[in-house]
Amino acid sequence: MPEPADRPSLLLVLHDVAPQTWPDYQPFVEAVDALGDIPMTWLVVPDFHKRNALEQSPGFRLMLDRRLQRGDEMALHGYFHADDSPPPRSLQEYLMRRVYTWEGEFYSLDQAQARERLEAGIALFRRYDWPLAGFVAPAWLMSEGTRQALRQLPLRYTSDPQYLYRLPDFTPIPAPGLVWSARSSWRRGLSKVLCDVRETRLRQAPVIRLGLHPVDMRHDFSRRYWLQTLKRLLRQGREPMTKSTWLTSRHGQ
């Protein structure tokens, strides 16, 4: 049996966590809790789509407090999770901000704008005594100004679909993951095929991230996939961890 430090790891990450999305996640979280002690990383949005700020949701905040007590982690996931910058001015901007996603909040921000939103998010976490180590940009899209702002703030990591980056120097640490596009039936079918292939290729990987989104939870097909995949990876001996715990235990940060 491998020693704990040598065991491959599993990072279960819930994206777009907000009062509006908690009803989507709740049945899945309860199913995961029933499996045992499986820590999760919750990517929390302070004011999701500018419709329901965390300050106005004491019951939701209490639930997050309890998750921290269980050993879960919360990371900052944008501030509004909505792209409210001026309209795109080039074809590349249009493709990234209107075709790929409408939620790339930090894609176009300059350093001052990015720092203002990051500091507002950090202040919110401090207000509620929530430990904060990581920031993940919505849709994993970050401007150079955002990167410069992150170098100046007391955060330990950020990430994209393939890597965690140790801050402030953006040292890349491979952390491949599985993620779905679940907004239509054909996308869900294709996502399963692609993730099954990718999971096979990652069989020997030291770590696998499972990146879940609220829309995944709205369909039995995708929700069942995530629960079955989680169970399968656990049976293979992977140790579930939060992102912060994995960075500390495997990479000394």
Of 108 and 41, the structure prediction assigns the larger pLDDT to 41
Q: Residue 85 has what pLDDT?
A: 54
In this structure, the strands spanning 171-174 and 177-179 are unpaired
Domains of the chain as residue ranges with CATH: 4-251 (3.20.20.370)
For residue 225, what are its two tokens?
């996939």
- pLDDT bracket for residue 49 (50, 70, 90): confident
Instruction: Pick the range with the lowest mean pLDDT from 37-41, 74-78, 103-107.
Output: 103-107
Q: Which amino acid is at 182?
A: A
In this structure, the strands spanning 41-44 and 73-76 are parallel
Q: Residue 100 has what pLDDT?
A: 52
For residue 107, what are its two tokens?
């894609």
Distance separating alpha carbons of residues 123 and 118, to the nearest angstrom? 9
Q: What is the largest CA-CA distance in the chain?
A: 56
Task: Count other C-beta atoms under 10 Å from residue 32's C-beta.
Answer: 20
For residue 202, what are its two tokens?
């990652």
Distance separating alpha carbons of residues 115 and 152, to the nearest angstrom? 9
Instruction: With beta carbons less than 8 A apart as the criterion, state whether 201 and 212 touch.
Output: no
Distance separating alpha carbons of residues 90 and 164, to the nearest angstrom? 29
Q: Residue 159 has what pLDDT?
A: 95
| Angle at CA of residue 208, ends 125 and 35, nearest 5° | 75
Long-range contacts (CB closer than 8 Å, 24 or more residues apart) made by 182-187? 182/213, 182/215, 182/216, 182/218, 182/219, 182/222, 183/215
Q: What is the mean pLDDT of residues 112-140?
A: 96
Q: Residue 228 has what pLDDT?
A: 98
- pLDDT bracket for residue 99 (50, 70, 90): very low
Three-state secondary structure readout of 173-192: EECCEEECCCCCHHHHHHHH
Three-state secondary structure readout of 79-145: CCCCCCCCCCCCHHHHHHHHHHCCCCCCCCCCHHHHHHHHHHHHHHHHHCCCCCCEECCHHHCCCHH
- Which residues share a beta bridge with 163? 174
- pLDDT bracket for residue 92 (50, 70, 90): low
Instruction: Pick the range with the lowest mean pLDDT from 15-29, 121-135, 180-194.
Output: 180-194
pLDDT of 145-192, one tens digit each? 999 999 999 999 999 999 999 999 999 999 999 999 888 898 899 999
DSSP state of 169: T
Q: Which residue has the tokens 């990146």?
A: 211
Distance separating alpha carbons of residues 39 and 68, to the nearest angstrom? 9
CB neighbours of 193 closer than 8 A, spacing ≥ 6? none
Q: Which amino acid is at 92?
A: Q
